[in-house]
Structure 1
């Protein structure tokens, strides 16, 4: 018989998994156990700390190799990388871009930077990302094709692209989403900010869209302090991405000539040096994080009222941020549970506020968001640092 939600029991289970002592346990912390000091010191010793230096190119090459794409272009952060991705597929003022309502604000902000309108889509309970089936049915209702382009019959604006955001590191069902994109002539861009080390059907995320964006913020799988990257298999787009992110400056020994509006989105060499050292350890980070996720799964398997969210069957996730999902009957207890964990020094958090609820995006179009609204009220992120999984295996 279901006994309901016992908050004290949930806190106790978290403590048992985390082995909590007296120190607070943060949501996600970086670990520096490789050659970070050596590479960063090399930058300091040689003076190559800014926008040029060997580590930027080395980091790009290592990223491309790890993710299985032809090209990686480093950028100052993930938002900048996503902004350039959108520009390179031709997103401009007056366009609409489809993206999940349940996402970090950077996804919508990047669309707005282009002068385009975010158009918010519902989530899939299986992946926490865009629901391809529901998107297909929605486009059947509100979209039409004219001269090879998709238009919103309600706003008469062109719908140009879909951003697939891999929520908390769990891959979207990309095959189904690509089928929708093909039917409606939409570009697919992957917001893979959270999914470095995640695989969809044994192929790395970020390699399905025409362009994809990564993030290396301090709380990501690997960190460069701040940083991001653009992934693509299109050599011409990679070249243009590099040009645009380096202020569109033409190569010359001394002259400053810029052939279009560019962006100072370069990743400094000292940050790339940190990234090189981190990327050398990523397999161990992922192993530890998956071990931690498995321990959470076992611990919460028989707890009433709450479920540990597991990767979709088609995917191998990095479990960037682990998720506890409250049963619908107990969604109103989310904040009470979060407050209880904080009192015990276990720093949990809710999901993001849905994008359509934020004041700057309230007038943007959106479909029925019943699944996203349900998830928003029931998701609790719990500590997920790689170091927490070290003693599991």
Structure 2
């Protein structure tokens, strides 16, 4: 364990506290913030919101982007736009950040948990197909869960730590079963699968710009889609569904106050100008980790899956067992190197323990062994 801590301290060139992932503000952030403040347009209307939506769409290759207050709100609206309603079910993975399941719950739907692949840590198409074949049937062009009697309306795979899952296979299965595909791409800005950006395979994709993400505005998120109608509706309902008028307040449906403020968008425009350097910097770090851990017994570095280009948002290792994981977490954090375990499986949490599950062998294995290690862009 000491050799790992020593290597991390050497890699980051400090013996002081090393955080897991801290933001870098090295460009035009202050300039654009001052410009935004001087304009007095600091809320959900302003030129930086429009500019960011245009540029993030161009970066991801999506036709449209709608900026939101955070990644959870982006996923919530995406599920609503995909037709998820109260009483429906949504298939997702148990190995994810809680925001995925929170967003599903906001719609009034219930989560159904299917296992992940060991190499991607994302939803397994094999497990998805097995679950559907064993538990579901197509009735009137909808997927019906024979166990619960409810409609499975959507599927939400998550690209864990920025590593793309086998999203093309998942899409093929979802299409065959009449299930809407909504991608949780919160962690995978700058990640590609088969030369296509994550979040663009599904009907909609949700991205996060939380303070620990590759680019950040302290919070923030966005919806990306190639569907013009959905993009317009997303913009409408995230702006309280207000009908445009110079002075009257008229709303035509239930809406949400989810639009990204202009002052946050100013930060994101500046951050997006630096993203290529951030991504290159992180790939160099990942390569150094990969080379180091290749010589470490009982430790495996998680590298990008085949046919993928990962952003390496959070680097991770797999240890021998839960006991070794816990010893390493205590030792590293006591030594001033911030590390953390992967998330507690969602089906173990009190609010989701009644949700239907498939076989979760891989998710359980990873939950007991995965540790994230410092992954900040190095200056």
Q: TM-score range by the shorter chain?
A: over 0.9
Aligned equivalent of 2:5, options 8, 11, 18: 11
Partner of 2:166: 173
Q: C-alpha separation between the residues in 1 aligned to 2:31 and 2:344?
A: 40
Partner of 2:345: 354
Aligned equivalent of 1:242, options 217, 235, 252: 235
SS at match of 1:386: coil
Q: C-alpha separation between the residues in 2 aligned to 1:276 and 1:210?
A: 25
CA RMSD of aligned residues (A): 0.9
- Could you report, residue by residue, the CA deviation over 1:27-62 in whole angstroms, capped at 9, with x for unpaired residues? 001100110011000011121111111000000000
SS at match of 1:323: strand
Are residue 158 (structure 1) and residue 117 (structure 2) matched?
no
Q: C-alpha separation between the residues in 1 aligned to 2:288 and 2:130?
A: 38
Residue 19 of structure 1 deviates from its aligned partner by: 2.6
Q: C-alpha separation between the residues in 1 aligned to 2:14 and 2:137?
A: 56
- Could you report, residue by residue, the CA deviation over 1:246-301 in whole angstroms, capped at 9, with x for unpaired residues? 00000001000000010000100000000000000000000000110000001111
Q: Which runs of 4+ in 1 moved over 4 A?
A: none
Are residue 275 (structure 1) and residue 238 (structure 2) matched?
no
Partner of 1:185: 178
Aligned equivalent of 2:278, options 285, 288, 296: 285
- Could you report, residue by residue, the CA deviation over 1:331-365 in whole angstroms, capped at 9, with x for unpaired residues? 32211101111111100000011000011100111
Q: C-alpha separation between the residues in 2 aligned to 1:170 and 1:127?
A: 6
Unaligned ranges ≥5, structure 2: none
Q: C-alpha separation between the residues in 1 aligned to 2:247 and 2:224?
A: 30
Note if contact 2:89-2:110 (Cα within 8 Å) is conserved in structure 1.
yes
Partner of 1:363: 354
Partner of 1:229: 222
Partner of 2:93: 100
Q: C-alpha separation between the residues in 2 aligned to 1:244 and 1:31?
A: 32
Residue 325 of structure 1 deviates from its aligned partner by: 0.7
Q: C-alpha separation between the residues in 1 aligned to 2:8 and 2:301?
A: 11
TM-score (norm 2): 0.99
Note if contact 1:88-1:237 (Cα within 8 Å) is conserved in structure 2.
yes
Partner of 1:209: 202
Residue 171 of structure 1 deviates from its aligned partner by: 0.3
Partner of 1:45: 38
Are residue 303 (structure 1) and residue 296 (structure 2) matched?
yes
Are residue 262 (structure 1) and residue 252 (structure 2) matched?
no
Partner of 1:77: 70
Note if contact 1:17-1:299 (Cα within 8 Å) is conserved in structure 2.
no
Residue 20 of structure 1 deviates from its aligned partner by: 2.6
Aligned equivalent of 2:312, options 309, 313, 319: 319
Q: C-alpha separation between the residues in 2 aligned to 1:303 and 1:19?
A: 21
Note if contact 2:207-2:222 (Cα within 8 Å) is conserved in structure 1.
yes
Are residue 342 (structure 1) and residue 330 (structure 2) matched?
no
Note if contact 2:91-2:114 (Cα within 8 Å) is conserved in structure 1.
yes
TM-score (norm 1): 0.95
Partner of 2:364: 373
Residue 372 of structure 1 deviates from its aligned partner by: 0.2
Aligned equivalent of 2:115, options 100, 118, 122: 122
- Could you report, residue by residue, the CA deviation over 1:49-96 in whole angstroms, capped at 9, with x for unpaired residues? 111110000000000000001000000000000000000011011100
Q: C-alpha separation between the residues in 1 aligned to 2:46 and 2:128?
A: 44
Number of equivalent positions? 379
Deviating more after overlay: 273-282 vs 44-53:
44-53
